[in-house]
Amino acid sequence: MKNKFISISLLLILIFALTGCFSYQDINKVLFVTLVTVDVTDTGEPMMRVEAFHAYRSKKGQGETGNRLVFESTGETIFDAIRNMNQSAIYKMDYTQNKVLVFTEKAAEYGIHKFLDIFMRDQEILLYPSIVIYRGDIHEFLHTSFKQEDFTGTYLNHLLKNKVIATHLKRNQLNQYLNYREIEDQVAAITMITMEGEPGEEKIVVQGSCILKEDKKVGTLEDEKAKIFNLLNNQFKNGLFTISHPNKKEEHITLQVLKAKTKTNVHFESEESISVEKNVHLRISLGETQASLELDQKMIETIQKELEKSIKKQGEDLFHQYAEKKIDLFQIGEAICRKKPSWYDEDVFSRIHFVVNVKVDMTTSSQTRGYR
């Protein structure tokens, strides 16, 4: 009886260990998609391009190797484009390893609402890939070889996880964006990327954020404005701010943000007057100065006030710039709808008094070292 129990246990272990896994023979007959891009033709048809990895057993050794392949096709729908693409692939295309979904700026301007259903419906396509907007020629982008990484999808995935970028730009995943769409009048700031560099030295760079409302591009935020946007939405972890040197206006000093916290207060004074306060608290240190600086208490207070004034002005200007277009950049409409739904209408922004209060604490500074 004991031997029979052991035999059954071993059989079950083998079944679970060998079921659902790719053998190397299976892997050789699958194309693993590592990057998906969606563009749109002049007639409004979706154009899909994907980067795929084809693994195979090397004839020269026992190691596994593989090729980078690029496929592209158009169709009346994304599903149709995928089917058309499969007609030129000798093996099945597997989307379970894809980490990045790229929409072109042209597709964002057209509106990506027609292209999202397949990514929500298909069980093989995962909901957690990063979503970005590409500015430039997407065909050239996918056919460029980058020195840092052979596979563009892997390169882009690592770039978006880069701590320097992640501290001041929010990394949006597909599932997060789909949740944004369920909130009335909500906007999403999606990371924008482009390609720079001389031929043979190309690299991918982050270029601020693309603002989407109702799945359509309504504006862009360059790096500094994207930084302010994320700061006021309490999505800024740490990063850098540059201000003029207190004593030499032609020179600059760079301040490193060690900690950032933003709280939003909405005061419903009357239906005709809604007060919104963004209370920002920053802890900073001196990163660099282009001219000598005596960092006494008076100078510290001067630097703090200069940064406070700069952030306040940029934040309030950014709000009014988009409020004139009736675009809720700072999630104020959600708070109004939750507490005073009858007060919310298309003219609500004209009745909002928006104030940014900034408190900066300068704590430490890296000391320069003497050399002999």
Residues 167-181 have pLDDT tens digits of 656 668 888 888 877
Same domain, 187 and 132: yes
Domain assignment of residue 82, yes or no: yes
The amino acid at residue 260 is: A
The continuous run of DSSP H or E covering 335 comes out as helix 332-339
16 domain residue, yes or no? no
Q: What is the model's pLDDT at position 293? A: 86
Q: State whether 103 and 150 are in the same domain.
A: yes
Q: Which residue has the tokens 């906007």?
A: 187
* Residue 230 placed within a domain: no
Residue 262 maps to a domain = yes
β pairing state of 252-270 and 216-221: unpaired
> Whole-prediction pTM value?
0.84
Model pLDDT, residue 368: 52
**Neighbouring residues of 191: CB distance < 8 A, sequence distance ≥ 6:** 130, 132, 133, 160, 169, 170, 171, 172, 206, 209, 210
Q: State whether 217 and 259 are in the same domain.
A: no
pLDDT at 173: 86
- Is 243 found in the same domain as 134? no
Which of 190, 221, 252 finishes a domain? Answer: 221
Do 204 and 261 fall into the same domain?
A: no
Of the candidates 158, 188, 221, which is a domain's last residue? 221
Q: Is residue 17 part of a domain?
A: no
Q: Are residues 127 and 60 in the same domain?
A: yes
Q: Is residue 3 part of a domain?
A: no
pLDDT beneath 50, residues of the chain: 10, 14, 18, 370-372
Across the chain, the runs of DSSP E, i.e. the strands, are: 30-40, 46-57, 64-74, 92-94, 100-104, 130-134, 187-196, 203-213, 216-221, 240-244, 252-270, 273-289, 352-365
Considering the domain architecture, whether residues 93 and 146 belong to the same structural domain is answered as yes
Q: Residues 107, 131: contact at Cβ < 8 Å?
A: no
Q: Where residue 340 sits, what CATH number does that domain have?
A: 3.30.300.210
Judge contact between 213 and 234, C-beta under 8 A. no
Residue 333 confidence (pLDDT): 82
Q: What pLDDT does 371 receive?
A: 41
| pLDDT, position 255 | 94
Indicate whether 318 belongs to any domain: yes
Residue 217 shares a structural domain with residue 245: no
Residue span of the structural domain in which 359 resides: 235-372
pLDDT computed for residue 196 by the predictor:
95
**Pair 80, 157 in one domain:** yes
When divided into structural domains, the chain yields a total of 2
**CB-CB contact of 321 with 328 (8 Å):** no
Cα R_g (the chain), whole angstroms: 26
Contact 313, 305 (CB under 8 A): no
pLDDT in tens, 209-244: 999 999 999 999 998 999 999 999 998 888 899 999
What pLDDT sits at residue 212? 93
Query: Which of these three, 192, 221, 250, is where a domain ends?
Result: 221
Do 254 and 183 lie in one domain? The reply is no
Tell me, yes or no, whether 304 lies in a domain: yes
Same domain, 130 and 201: yes
- Asked whether residue 197 falls in the same domain as residue 259, the answer is no
